[in-house]
Amino acid sequence: MNMATADSIAADEAALRRDILRIGGFLHQKSLVAASDGNISVRLPGGRVLATPTSMSKGMMEGADLVVTDMDGRKLEGRRNPSSEMAMHLLIYQLRPEVNGVVHAHPPAATGFAASGIALNQALLAEVVLALGCVPLAEYGTTGTPELSATLRPLIPHYDAILMANHGVVTYGEDVWKAYFKMETVEHFARIALVTHILGKQNLLGQEEVNKLLEARQRYEGITTAAANSANCPVTREGAAGGQPAPGLGPRLAAPPASNGKRRW
């Protein structure tokens, strides 16, 4: 490696550290996390990962608090320790080679859906279908154990945002900003979905509209995950009327009863 290359890698890494600190500030200020919840990571060259440390508010970190690990989660640099939730980040990097940033948080509305066993899988908003395709619900697994990785593993290749039952949300993208903005979109969508449930009625998009959005998602964003909703995710108007829920997805909203205008819960 020549000096110029080494300098540019160091500059890139410094910029990525600043990105993580800024995103940590947003997670904290927007109440997407509480106390020392959540974690953020980026993939570095050479099989390394730069990540937030354990037991620290994501809104109060300095550059030197971040840790660098290898792809097995072993610490390579840093005065603090990596989070036990790093296993989830590393699994995503392993299964999705194009992903370079992962954000995990406990946003209140989306985590409320996750704690109620309800996926955010209804085709309610065109922008959300375009941005995320569908947000499935992974079954419960204890944080920091292979159990959690096992519940996430089948979903990671097909989706860019996942609700984790009784826990929170993980989002990922080509860079850490895209991963973070998906987290904002998930929480915003959860709030809007909640309003539709309070109002007692959801006017879902039809299959034809959803197909157009999924095609556009593939064409403009180069995204192939969840490009075909054969798993009934997102649930369309026709899917809600008679479709089968996808395995592992929240059954209550995957096939809701015909709306009679009354609140269902």
Chain residues in the site for Zn ion (CB under 5 A): 168
Q: Between 170 and 233, whose beta carbon lies closer to Zn ion?
A: 170
Report which residue's Cβ sits closest to Zn ion: 168
Question: Least distance from C-beta 134 to Zn ion, angstroms?
Answer: 21
Assign residue 83 a region: left if phi > 0, alpha if psi is -120 to 50, beta otherwise? beta
Write down the least CB distance from residue 8 to Zn ion, Å. 34
Single-letter code of the amino acid located at 100: N
| 29 CB-contact burial (10 Å; exposed 0-12 / middle 13-18 / buried 19+) | exposed
**Nearer CB in complex with Zn ion: 101/168:** 168
* Nearest distance, CB of residue 106 and Zn ion, angstroms: 6
CB-nearer residue toward Zn ion: 122 or 151: 151
The counts of H helices and E strands in the chain are 9, 8
- Smallest CA-to-CA distance from 68 within 58, 60, 78, 59 is with 78
Query: Which CB atom, from 86 or from 123, has the smaller least distance to Zn ion?
Result: 86
CA 171 – CA 88 distance, rounded (Å): 11
Shortest separation between residue 254's beta carbon and Zn ion, angstroms:
24
